[in-house]
Amino acid sequence: MEENKEQSKSALKKAEKAAQMAAKKAEKAAKQASLPVVGGKKADDIIGITVKKSENFSQWYQEVVLKAELIEYYTEISGFFIMRPATMYIWNVIRKWFQEHIDELGVEETNFPMFLSQKSLEKEKEHVEGFAPELAWVTKAGDKDLEVPVAVRPTSEAVMYPYYAKWIRSHRDLPFRLNQWNSVVRWEAKQTTPFLRAREFMWQEGHTAHLTEQAAGEEVLQILEFYAGVYEQLLAVPVVRGRKTEAEKFAGGYYTTTVEGYIPSNGRGIQGATSHCLGQNFSKMFDITVEDPAEKGKHIHVWQNSWGLSTRVIGVMVMIHGDDKGLVLPPRIAKIQSILIPVGLTAKMSAEEKDAHMKKVDELFATLKKAGVRADVDTREGYTPAWKFNDWELKGVPLRIEFGPKDAAKDVVSYARRDTGEKGTIPISELTTKVPELLETIQQDMYNKAEASFREHRLKITKWDDVVPALDAKNVVLIPHCLVPDCEDKIKELTTGRSDEAADGPESQKAPSMGMKSLCIPFEQPEGLVKGETKCLNPECSRLAEQWCMFGRSY
């Protein structure tokens, strides 16, 4: 007991020191995040976006997520964000889609407590070491000090696995699959950014156990494909599927697979979601065993996986699709897919004429709803149609439908696409087929545009001197690499310098350019690497290359 107290005191001192450092950095970050004055007004008092995406990506991003009503800053404590209804709708669409897919695998939903004991943390030192500076500790209950402080979970392995050891008694209990939707706390000392880096974020975390390495490996890839589906099918965001290097894999795991995205505005890679094979590392820590069905009396440790997807996905979507007018939403995740706006109602029109026109608007709205379109009508008084156009463009609604007396005379509606600005008309008689078709076209066009950009900026490099210019031109690079961790560290060191282009992004504006790091070893390998002949591209490495590895500046 005394030993536990001493460990707790030591951990608490470290936590307090980390918290003080975090508070100072957070205060500085909060000042940096303040929106500047534009034309005598604060930028957040101006309705539209005040900067161009290409000129000030950091401020553009902050303005979009605020003004499109995705988040609000929680000013009581820095580093936390309020998820507004528009965000929760998107997250719930993702949750429903993903839940349906894992249900088919037999994954069951669970919910574990949010607190960790010092004892459970000690059991998995290697894994928790990376989270240690980010742990938030509860040290008091009322005005009394807790005898043993408890930590708020940064992830749930240490909370869940003691009970896996209790519940998994036989190989017949396998596969054992649980998933929970929750929020976790990681007390980031770095500058926080909405969706991308926060002290608390929502996610799902799946934790499964299997009899064999093969069974575990099959599930790892199934889940990874579901994650790719969230990005590609729902968010219209292309990703590269691959495996993390040993240096970048999940601490304490066997191997990590990942989907990696690309942000064109600053040329950075971004980790989208990860699916880990933990091997038998954690089952040995927590003594999760079953009797070997092939050898009676012999007990073997189970093979485990863990996999997680967070609200970061929403930030990635915003950065890729948004433009100078604001948010651009893919139709499949948009709460309002089509906004219907009455136009052309003048003061010269009689009340009867206006009522008759609005009756037709209501009929159009009913027709859209019947066709399965998530539609709404903007009947707000005191605002011009032009103001309404700008407001819905800021909020990213995929399709605007306008209906005025001139449209009524022709039995058509006018429309404008949010993604391209393209305008046209649709006969009212074809509304139920043409609008759903147009929404699907918008979804596919948004994906195709983003995919073409990622493909054009994913360069295969075979000369070291071409690496930094490629990074400065906002590319990620595929290079032949030996996959040795020390070599990765050297590459990061060699590519760290000062570049205004590289610093442009939601997290920093004029910082020294970060060195590139490995993003993943893509499953789809380019041609041109000859095993036993091709050298690692690092000029200070004498080893032979093992595979093409994707490197880049990243979040």
For the stretch 531-544, pLDDT in tens is 999 999 999 999 99
Looking at 424, 454, 484, the residue that finishes a domain is: 454
- Same-domain status, 297 and 362: no
- Same-domain status, 428 and 337: yes
- Same-domain status, 139 and 86: yes
Indicate whether 51 belongs to any domain.
no
pLDDT > 90? residue 221:
yes
pLDDT > 50? residue 37:
no
Q: Tell me, what's the pLDDT at 73?
A: 94
- Same-domain status, 449 and 462: no
Round to whole Å and give the CA distance between 467 and 156. Answer: 39
Indicate whether 26 belongs to any domain.
yes
Q: Tell me, what's the pLDDT at 297?
A: 86
- Same-domain status, 251 and 312: yes
pLDDT > 70? residue 501:
no
pLDDT > 50? residue 124:
yes
Q: Tell me, what's the pLDDT at 25?
A: 47
Largest CA distance in the chain: 92
- Same-domain status, 110 and 28: yes
Q: Dihedral through CA 382, CA 384, CA 390, CA 395, nearest 10?
A: 40
Average pLDDT score over residue span 472-489: 97
pLDDT > 70? residue 33:
no
- Closest by alpha carbon to 504, among 471, 533, 479, 478? 471
Alpha helices in 288-430 (DSSP H): 312-321, 351-370, 385-394, 405-410
Q: Tell me, what's the pLDDT at 28?
A: 46
* Structure letter (DSSP) for residue 411: T
Q: Tell me, what's the pLDDT at 252?
A: 86
- Same-domain status, 372 and 264: no
Alpha helices in 303-396 (DSSP H): 312-321, 351-370, 385-394
- Same-domain status, 186 and 315: yes
| Percent residues over pLDDT 70 in the chain | 87
Indicate whether 48 belongs to any domain.
no
The residues near 518 (Cβ < 8 Å, ≥ 6 apart) are 244, 245, 247, 248, 481, 488, 549, 550, 551
User: What pTM value is reported for the model?
Assistant: 0.89
Confidence of residue 420 (pLDDT cuts 50, 70, 90): very high
- Same-domain status, 177 and 315: yes
Residue ranges making up the domain that contains 370 = 331-454
Q: Tell me, what's the pLDDT at 506?
A: 53
Structural domain count of the chain: 3
Question: Which tokens is 336 given?
Answer: 């309002």
CA distances in angstroms from 447 to 234, 401, 524, listed in the order given:
10, 23, 20
Indicate whether 337 belongs to any domain.
yes
Q: Tell me, what's the pLDDT at 30?
A: 43
Confidence of residue 514 (pLDDT cuts 50, 70, 90): confident
Indicate whether 57 belongs to any domain.
no
- Same-domain status, 340 and 261: no
- Same-domain status, 203 and 134: yes
pLDDT tens digits, residue range 352-385? Answer: 999 999 999 999 999 999 999 999 999 999 999 9
| CATH code of residue 261 | 3.30.930.10
Looking at 412, 428, 454, the residue that finishes a domain is: 454
pLDDT > 60? residue 19:
no
| Strands 375-377, 338-342: pairing kind | parallel
pLDDT > 70? residue 182:
yes
Tell me how far apart the terminal alpha carbons of the chain are, to the nearest angstrom.
42
Confidence of residue 13 (pLDDT cuts 50, 70, 90): low
- Same-domain status, 72 and 176: yes
Q: Tell me, what's the pLDDT at 251?
A: 85
Quote the mean pLDDT of the chain.
Answer: 90
pLDDT tens digits, residue range 52-80? Answer: 999 999 999 999 999 999 999 999 999 99
Looking at 454, 471, 492, the residue that finishes a domain is: 454
Which of 10-19, 195-204, 500-509 is the least confident region?
A: 500-509
One-letter-per-residue 3-state SS of 197-244: ECCEEEEEEEEEEECCHHHHHHHHHHHHHHHHHHHHHHCCCCCEEEEC
pLDDT > 70? residue 130:
no
Q: Tell me, what's the pLDDT at 31?
A: 45
Indicate whether 235 belongs to any domain.
yes
Which of 11-25, 490-504, 512-526 is the least confident region?
A: 11-25
